[in-house]
Structure formats: C-alpha cells, structure tokens
Structure 1
Amino acid sequence: MTETQKPHSEQGWTRRKVVAVGAGGIAAAGLGGTAFAASASSERGGVTAAGADAEVCYRLTSETVEGPYYIDADKLRRDITEDREGIPLLLALNVIDSDTCRPLGNAAVDIWHCDATGVYSGYENQGNGGGGGPAPTGEPPTGEPPTGEPPTGAPTGAPAGGGHRRPTDDTRYLRGTWRTDRHGQVSFRTVFPGWYRGRCVHIHVKVHVGGEWTDAGYEGGRTCHTGQLFFDEESVLASAAVEPYASNDAERTTLAEDTIYDRSGARGGLLRLRYDRRRIGRGVHATLTVGVDPEATEDGQGRPSQPSASASASATGSGSAG
C-alpha cells in the first residue's frame, strides 16, 4: 500500500482497560460465503481479530460532509449488493463511544456507495459524474425493524433541500441500514466500490442514536456521526485490473489527492483490508472501529477538515464532495 498504517502508538489512540471490541473477528458469521475463505492470506495495514481482554480505544472518528447522494432509503438489510457486479466486499464495523470506549449497541448504521463503474443508485441518469455540490440534509432511517424482512418496495427517497440532489429513479442498490448488536458490531455484504472523477474510492456511513426500533421502523433520535470509509491505494490498483472496474475509464483521484480524506489513517476512516493479493476478485474483508460521540449531532452539513497541502490541485478544483 502507498500509505503505510502507523503503529497504534503513533496514531493518537488511547489505551484503556475495556472488553475487546475489535472488528476483525466479525467476518462471515451470519453473512458467510466462500468468497472470503482466502481473505486472511493478506492483511493490509491492520490488526488481527481481537483475542485478548483489552483493545485499543479509538479517538473520535473524523466527521465529513454527507455528499449529495444520500437517500433515506428504507432498505433495512445487511446484503446491499442486489444485481451489482464487482469484487465481493464484507464490511465489518465496530461502533463505540469514543469517550467511554463502550460498545454502542442498538444504533442504526447507514452505508451507501457507488458501483464499480462509479454510478450511484437513485441517480443513474447522472452517470459517472462525480459527487459535487453542497452537503445535503438527512433524517434517520425508517421502515421495518431489522429483526424482520427488509422491505421490497422502491422507496420515494428524501426531498431535496440544502443542496441535496433529489433522486431521479427508484433504484436503491448499494444502500442499506442495519443496527449494531450489543457489542456495537454491524456488518454488511456489498461490492468493492468503483470511482468517479474528483473523488478517491470510498463508502459513506452514518450512525443514528437515541431513536427507537418499532413496528414502523427506526423512529426519532439523531445522527451522531457522518463519515466516509477509505481504501488504500494498493487495493484500488488491484481492483482496477478486474472487470468491471477495468472498464471504468473515469479519471481516478488517488487517496493522497482526495480532498475529503484527512490523512489520519484509521481515525480518518481508512479501512483495514484483508484479501488474497494474487486473487482480489475472490473477495475483500474490510474492518474498522468507529469512535463516535453519542451526544453529538453530526449530520454532515458542515465542512470537512482541510487535507494536507500535498493534495492535488486538480482534485481540489473538481468541486466534488460526494
């Protein structure tokens, strides 16, 4: 990888005596599949599954802009792939209170991202056009509680406002919401994202707390974290050799050039990746502990912290915040 993960002591994390909350061991339980059987042979800049009685307590994970393509999609599910082709990706997150280091259970976690060709569902007529525009607004997800079957009907999406682009179609692939368990863990099955002009490869994430899971869905509460999850350059280059990524001819922004990623490693959303470096097409296992302030309101309407001065001028000029 082009950006090497630093040891824990160099990343500004603090250590406390807490029950292990490492994400590495969530893996295929409940989401299994042979695509990930070989993933352990190569781990990108990460730690292995927590097996001790203590784990690193992470500082607050970086907040970022929401981007213009968020939809309150009523898709309560862990497998968000639908019919999208691409490298299988198992995303396992630990959500913890960054002050107490306690797992944050019963929170609603949203993720959404573009497909291998850089297209977002709900905005297909935009094509691979990037994610420019001001940060949009968003409300906590609603719909059936995650203990039941996810709804199958196409949702109408959120209204436009605050620069948020109104959905143009009823597709909702690569979008989903699920709740954290009592250990603060949640996992999703999806595909490795592609890219579009002006942004590096990324996944959007929101964490909602203070609401209630009812027969009508997750109601009330607030958004305490809006962030983005990033992929190291080595993994992206490996994916680019596999179809359908190889057919994506959009200009690609590297991790070092991106204007949203804040260069702080795991604290900034840089995922720990495991995969077979010779056969990435068989699947990737991505993990991260996300430290949030459950008392905060972070809806993604603010501006992200400025990246380092080394960021590419061309990326800065793209106006993309998706």
Structure 2
Amino acid sequence: MDRKEFLKKSITSFGMFSILPVLNACESKTVSTDNQTDSTNIGSTNGTSPGDCSVTNAETAGPFPIKDAASLVMNNIKGDRLGIPLTLKINIKNINTSCGNLPNVLVDVWHCDAKGEYSEYGGTGLQAANNTNVHWLRGRQTTDSNGLSTFESIFPGWYSGRAPHIHVHVYTSGGKSLLVTQIAFPKSICDTVYTTASDYKSKGIQDTTNEIDNVFRDGFANEMGTLTGSVSEGYVLTHNIVVSA
C-alpha cells in the first residue's frame, strides 16, 4: 500500500477531518530581495482573541506517528539532518477559557527530512529507506506559563501525494490526548525553499498543493503556520493550536 492509498483509507476509516471554509485561508505575501529568498506570510489568526477562537482541525497521525515521545523530551530535534534551520513556536490555547494560554501540556511534533523521509520507519512499501533505528525530527516539550512550546528543527521536505506539513499531538500532563493535528505551509515560501536551497532543490517543487492534499483539502484555514525569515538566515514558524481542555 503506498502513501496516497493509506491516507485515503485513513480518511474513510476515521473521519477525522473538520470542514472549514477555504475562504478564510491565510493571506500570503513575498518580500523580495536581490536573491529573492526573503519571505514572510501571515498564517492563521485562530486563537488570537475570544472572537477568533475555534478548535483546530483534527487530523490523522499516520502513517508515521511518533513511537515513544517520552524518550524524546528535547528542544533541538534536528539530529544529523541537513536543511534550512526552522524554529517552531507552537502556542496551545484553550477554547474553554476563550482561547487563553494553556500551560503544562505536552506537545509532540514530528515531520520528514529534506528528502521527504521519516525516522523510526522504513524498509516497506510506505518508505523504502530504512530509518527504523534513528529518531531525528521528533520530540516533545511541555508548554510554559504562556502556553508556548519551542523546537529547533529544519524546514520539512515533501513526499509524493502530500503537501508539506508538520504533525502535532497535544496531551494533558497526565497523558490524555487533547488533539492530533497538522501544520500547513504556504506554497510561495515552499517554492522558494525547494528551488533554491541546496538540500532541497534537487527534488524540486512539491507535487501536491494544500488545496488538493488528502488531509488539507477539506479546509486548512486554521492550520496554516505563520513563517518569517529567509533561505539564507532560516525561518521561524509561529502557530496557535486551539484545544478543548
């Protein structure tokens, strides 16, 4: 079974996707310099105020979910992976307090490397490369008093059938699952990275956009991350995730 088929079956089997209007999708813009690598986008504003507060879309954790996050409590999750530096600043908000900050919850993240491969899996039809004995680009943090969790990583690559994305799973401190979701990326910045950065450009632009992606195509307005930075300096991704706690 290939990745496209797995994702289609996940959607049919679990029905985990919220339907949100694409009309509210984020506004993007590109700020060009001489080498046209500096970019910024304005992602989802969900969670910024009581009037802009809805639970973030639930999504599938598969096909490569994190196996033992408790053993991967770390801020820097790069491992030995090469790529453009990416700082993740994920804010967890509680819809039951009008999107107030949610401290002391667990945030797990995982994503593929610049080549589109995942750690902890492989040697099968879903991923030919066997990375079963390594754990890069996976980690866990606990939110601080402001509901913030921070990770140092690299800009994710892509693989056929999926738009670029990062997986996030939020738990209570006691281990109760609050939400599994994904973070989407703006195409304009992905295009810049995948056509100019040395660790990515041999593969070129992704073959699947957010609009036709099996996960995001039912609405990704509240899953779009805000990115600032450049290929030369690295990027910072800031994103609010709203849960019911």
Q: TM-score range by the shorter chain?
A: 0.7 to 0.9
Q: Conserved in 1, the CA contact under 8 Å of 2:184 and 2:220?
A: no
Q: TM-score, structure 1 length as denominator?
A: 0.58
Name the aligned partner's letter for residue 107 of structure 1: V
Q: Give the TM-score, by structure 2 length.
A: 0.75
Report what 2:213 is aligned to.
Answer: 258
Number of residue equivalences: 205
Contact 2:178 2:244 in 1 (8 A): yes
The corresponding residue for 1:34 is: none
Deviation at 1:125, TM superposition (A): 3.0
1:289 aligned residue (233, 236, 240): 240
Does the Cα contact within 8 Å between 2:112 and 2:119 map onto a contact in 1? yes
Paired with 1:55 and 1:284, the residues of 2 have a C-alpha distance of 28
Pair 1:118-2:116 in alignment: yes
Name the structure 2 match of 1:75: 72
Q: Distance in 2 between matches of 1:47 and 1:65?
A: 20
**Gapped regions of structure 1 (runs ≥ 5):** 8-40, 131-166, 212-220, 295-322
Q: Which runs of 5+ in 2 are unaligned?
A: 1-23, 29-37
Q: Which amino acid in 2 is paired with 1:253?
A: T
The amino acid that maps onto 1:254 is T
Deviations 1:261-285 (A, max 9, x none): 13342x1x11011123xxx242011
Instruction: State the 1:248 CA deviation.
Output: 2.4
The residue number in structure 2 matching 1:94 is 91
What CA RMSD, in Å, does the superposition of the two structures yield over aligned residues? Answer: 2.8
Q: Aligned-pair distance for 1:251? A: 6.2
Residue 101 of structure 2 corresponds to: 103
For 2:224 and 2:159, locate their aligned partners in 1 and report how far apart those are by CA, in whole Å.
19
Q: Deviations along 1:48-103, whole A, 9 cap, x unmatched? A: 9xxxx978642100000111211224110011001100011011011010121221
Secondary structure of 1:43's counterpart equals strand
Letter in 1 for 2:91: N
What is the one-letter code of the residue matched to 1:122? E
- Shift in CA distance, 66/192, structure 1 to aligned 2, threshold 3 Å: same
Pair 194,173 (structure 1): closer, same or farther in 2 beyond 3 Å: same
Write out per-residue CA displacement over residues 168-201 of structure 1, whole angstroms, 9 at most, x where no aligned residue: 6210000000000011011111000001111010
The structure with the greater share of residues assigned to strand is 2
Give, in angstroms, the shift of residue 122 of structure 1.
1.1
Q: Following the alignment from structure 2 to structure 1, what is the Cα–Cα distance between the partners of residues 185 and 179? A: 19
1:165-314 paired onto structure 2 within 5 Å: 169-211=132-174, 221-241=175-195, 242-248=197-203, 252-261=207-216, 262-265=218-221, 267=222, 269-276=223-230, 280-294=231-245
- Cα deviation for residue 249 of structure 1 reads 6.0
Matched residue, 1:45: 42
Mapped partners of 2:206, 2:233: distance in 1: 25
Residue 58 of structure 1 is matched in structure 2 by 53
Change in CA separation of 1:285 and 1:57 when aligned onto 2, cut-off 3 Å: same
Q: Deviations over 1:185-241 (max 9, x none)?
A: 111110000011110100000001041xxxxxxxxx311010000101001101112
Letter in 2 for 1:283: G
The Cα of 1:253 is off from its aligned counterpart by 1.1
Task: Report Cα offsets for 1:20-74 as digits up to 9, x if no partner.
Answer: xxxxxxxxxxxxxxxxxxxxx74312499xxxx9786421000001112112241
In structure 2, relative to structure 1, the CA distance for the partners of 1:260 and 1:86 (3 Å cut) is same
Percent identity for Structure 1 against Structure 2: 32
Per-residue deviation, 1:287: 0.6
For the 8 Å contact 1:128–1:196, the answer to whether it is kept is no
- Alignment partners' CA distance in 2, 1:124 and 1:192: 21
Letter in structure 1 aligned against 2:165: H
In 1, distance between residues paired with 2:232 and 2:213? Answer: 25
